[in-house]
Amino acid sequence: MKKRWVLGLGTTVLSIGLAGCGQLPQDTSAANTNTKEESESVSSSLSKSDDGKLEPEEGASLRFRTGDEEFGNAVAKLFEEKYKVPVKVEEGNSLDFTKDVMEAASGEGPDVFMSPHDKTLEGIQAGIFTELDPSLVESLESDISDVAMKTVTVDDKVYGVPVSIETNVMFYNKSVVKDKPASTFDELKKEAEEFNDQKENKFIYLSDVTTGSPIYPMLGTYGFRLFGENGTDEDHPGFDTPEFEKGLEVLADYHNIMPISSGDLSNADFLTNQFTEGKTGYLLGGPWNVKTFREAGVDFGVTNLVTYDGHEQKPFAFVQNAHVSAYTKYPKTAQLFAEFLVSPESAELLYSKAFKITSRSDITSVDGLKDDKELTAIAKAFEKSIPMPSAQRISAYWTITSNIGPAVFDQQMTPMEGAKKAQDDWVAFLQTE
């Protein structure tokens, strides 16, 4: 069995007020009205077959909420064919976590639902995620990416199934970058000196610098790690470290190769059009860009982020996870369905129906995806990325970096001033809790 990465729950507690909420949408035909205690009782006595595997409860039926409804319906059909269990698919926004918490706690939520991995700790603290059966965990650990498994593992327990993965990579337009793509910042800087033309609105490299995700690789150049090495130190985000200030110096240096205002760089359409029109050679992006570039007829490739002063710049890893409600009436069946979402056949559907990358560690057998050079390259880059922390105070990072990142990049604030403001804003944030 693979060694599991351990997330500490810390001392923070999720505080989502349920009092005074309006009536939630209900599906009376399939609502699970069992209490949490009843669910835990059922979960503790999961019956298994002779080979130790879970089997569906008699008369089971499921509700599955996902933002990829076409994929969900296709998987539900296969699952029903295999297990004779009907699955009703509901369209929902995986980012609407507050709704998930409220519906689960009231017994009205779906049996299985998708959620971004940064909500793992909140879901556990809220008591809405089921700990997976060890027999399923063993199977997942042998099939799923190690990086992805980290996002659902807390204190050596697994609370979800990683389904799809994303990370940032550097795209390059082959009409501009005719030779081997740059692998170092110095190479990128040299190409910028030859290609950049502000009057023609041409820049060799472009990236958003106004949000915490695209600037994280720069901030982490010299070893800054948000909320510690494992992303779990809720009390120490690292803004007061020399590594963070040096990371801000890197961010400021990027202005030399993209001399443009941070406000313009925050415009996703501008970035996309620059790339597709051949007005930029490199663009920081992710798998969500691939389809757009292909439809635009761009001849492009995918490469890793450049090194800076000999240091790797590692982006965040993002994972969409399937969670089993702690209040489900059918915990065995729900866990089997969550596991089924990353089966080889489901991985193929994920690519063909949702154009997403499976979390499976080996994609060489996934029809369609195995022959997709660009998405395969992104999957490889994912293995070197850093899971975005699931610390409950991560909201402070997004707010703080959205303030200081643009200011440092636009040279309205020195890196030293930016680091001081980040720490001051962090202290102010703590005082508001």
Q: Model confidence over 307-361: pLDDT tens digits? A: 999 999 999 999 999 999 999 999 999 999 999 999 999 999 999 999 999 999 9
Are 218 and 272 in a shared domain?
yes
Query: What average pLDDT does this structure show over 376-390?
Result: 94
Q: At what angle do helices 69-83 and 344-354 cross, to 10 degrees?
A: 150
Per the structure block, which two tokens stand in for 60?
Answer: 């089971």
d(CA 424, CA 61): 52
Q: Is residue 309 located within the same domain as residue 364?
A: no
One-letter amino acid identity for 85? V
Q: Same domain for 230 and 290?
A: yes
**Is 60 exceeded by the pLDDT of residue 154?**
yes
Q: Which residues contact 188 (CB under 8 A, 6 or more apart)?
A: 182, 204, 205, 257, 282, 306
- Asked whether residue 113 carries a pLDDT value surpassing 90, the answer given is yes
Do residues 283 and 427 share a domain?
Answer: yes
pLDDT at position 10, please? 36
Q: Given a cut of 90, is residue 49 above it in pLDDT?
A: no
Quick one: 293 and 402 in the same domain? yes
Residue-range definition of the domain harbouring residue 116: 36-164+320-385
Residue 345 is predicted with a pLDDT of 97
Check pLDDT > 70 for residue 36.
no
Domain with 251 in it: what CATH number? Answer: 3.40.190.10
Q: Tell me the CA distances in angstroms from 375 to 100, 287, 302, 326, 356, one per residue in order.
A: 30, 7, 9, 34, 8
**Residue 51 contacts by C-beta under 8 Å, 6 or more apart in sequence?**
none
Q: In this structure, are 194 and 109 located in the same domain?
A: no
Q: With contact defined as beta carbons under 8 Å apart, do 330 and 60 qualify?
A: yes
Instruction: Output the CA angle 68-72-73, nearest 5 degrees.
Output: 125
Of 59, 100, 143, which Cα lies nearest the Cα of 333?
A: 59
Asked if residue 131 and residue 63 are part of one domain, the reply reads yes
Positions of E strands within 147-262 = 153-154, 157-158, 161-167, 169-173, 203-206
Same domain, 198 and 303: yes
**Are 40 and 155 members of one domain?**
yes
Q: Is 7's pLDDT higher than 90?
A: no
Amino acid 94: pLDDT: 60
pLDDT band at residue 52 using 50, 70 and 90 as cut-offs: low
Confidence of residue 47 (pLDDT cuts 50, 70, 90): low
Report how many domains make up the chain.
2
Confidence of residue 43 (pLDDT cuts 50, 70, 90): very low
First to last CA, the chain: 40
Do the bridges between strand 112-116 and strand 62-66 make them parallel or antiparallel, or are there none, so unpaired? parallel
Task: Check whether residue 146 and residue 224 sit in a common domain.
Answer: no
pLDDT at 108: 82
For the stretch 54-66, pLDDT in tens is 899 999 999 999 9
More confident residue, 2 or 199: 199
Q: Are 168 and 366 in contact (CB under 8 A)?
A: no
Of residues 12 and 310, more confidently modeled? 310
**Do 280 and 413 reside in the same domain of the chain?**
yes
Contacts of 432 (CB under 8 A, 6+ apart): none
Helix (H) or strand (E) holding 398: helix 394-409
